[in-house]
Amino acid sequence: MKILILGGTVFLGRHLVEAAQVRGHELTLFHRGQHGKDLYPEVEHLYGDRRGDVNLLEGRQWDAVIDPSGYVPSSVRTAARALIDAVQHYVFISSVSVYADESIIGLDENGIVSTITPKQLAEVEQIVPPGKGTVARSYGEWYGALKALCEQAAEEVMPGRVLTVRPGLIVGPYDYSDRFTYWVRRVAHGGEVLAPGNPAQRVQFIDVRDLAEWIIRLVETGQTGIYNATGPQERPTMQQFLDECQTVSGSGATLTWLDEAFLLQEQVQPWSQLPLWLPDDPATAGFQAINTSKARATGLTSRPLAETIRATLTWDATRPADIKHEAGLTREEEAGLLHLWHEQHRA
């Protein structure tokens, strides 16, 4: 098949390229050339900004387009219109953040999505997201609603020809958000590790390689519709996840569990300073408990957690030692919190 990817050089895009190459597909990457310009020299690269250069795609033919870089509806609508006669299949990578009610445990694809006012949309449409990192942070509270509008824009332009994939937290090699990587790296470094909240809290994420391989298989069959895509199928507890990080790295780290009341009192930011951790709040109880049975019925699988941890650790070791991490506590912040905790709980 001939596949066009709008992006393809940062995180999920890279894995989509590699998964498609393994299966023998012919690829074209349309991107700004700001990251990974030297990647995949054997693949056709078209350089342009999707906000104003989609004319570069006109007059071409592909079997499908995969769009992992659409964050505002105007850019998705523009791309879809430019490609309406060029492709048969539009694959839009959305997010489980589209759901308006995160209190529902086991939320499926029929859940109500978030909305945004025209005034708010006009304001956020002006934001230019970074080429990598935590794009959601750029759009703040409107990220989910914008993704929902992007889904709708694609379907409006190409009715019945759109596959919408709603991943949860995507993790693994090349994950510049550092949300999963923080824990893999920190446990591997050893010593006393600050562990957050309830050890039995369950967490949910998907290995980027599992996601990419499954998407390419759905492209091959021309699948349409909406699919939640996260995992693992059996969600580990935070304790199990950190224990597995310790086993894989062989670090000998020790975990000190700080309760959420203390962490909130000290104004530690859930999810960003302590990734994967969310306070025990009914309003967000469903965020890491998404129903993925529909996707699994089409072949979505989850590799063993140890494989994801090991691959992430190996990739992280290749990064510069002085790189600025996008998420997690600094070692100084962690040490300060642990010291204060021990002072308050000294017998």
Can you give the residue range of the structural domain that contains 112? Answer: 2-344
pLDDT of residue 300: 98
pLDDT of residue 128: 64
DSSP readout, 268-326?
Answer: --BTTTBTT---S-GGGTTTT-B--HHHHTTT-----HHHHHHHHHHHHTTS-TTPPPS
By percentage, how much of the chain surpasses pLDDT 90?
87
pTM of the model: 0.95
Give the model confidence (pLDDT) of 134-147 as tens digits.
565 677 789 999 99
* Residues 6+ away with beta carbon under 8 Å from 74: 51, 125, 153
pLDDT of residue 243: 98
Q: How many domains are contained in the chain?
A: 1
Backbone angles phi, psi at 121, to 5 degrees: -60, -45
Give the model confidence (pLDDT) of 252-281 as tens digits.
999 999 999 999 999 999 999 999 999 999
Q: CA 187 to CA 98: how far, in whole Å? A: 32
Mean pLDDT of 290-306: 98
Burial of 9 (0-12, 13-18, 19+ CB in 10 A): buried
User: Tell me, what CATH number does 286's domain have?
Assistant: 3.40.50.720
pLDDT of residue 133: 47
- 98, 147 contact by CB (below 8 A): yes
Give the model confidence (pLDDT) of 23-78 as tens digits.
999 999 999 988 888 899 999 999 999 988 999 998 999 999 999 999 999 999 99
Give the model confidence (pLDDT) of 88-131 as tens digits.
999 999 999 999 999 999 999 999 999 999 998 988 887 766 54
| 53-57, 217-221, 315-319: least confident range | 53-57
By percentage, how much of the chain surpasses pLDDT 70?
97
For the chain, the residue count is 347
Mean pLDDT of all residues belonging to the chain = 94
DSSP readout, 178-224?
Answer: -TTHHHHHHHHH-SEEEEES-TT-B---EEHHHHHHHHHHHHHHT--
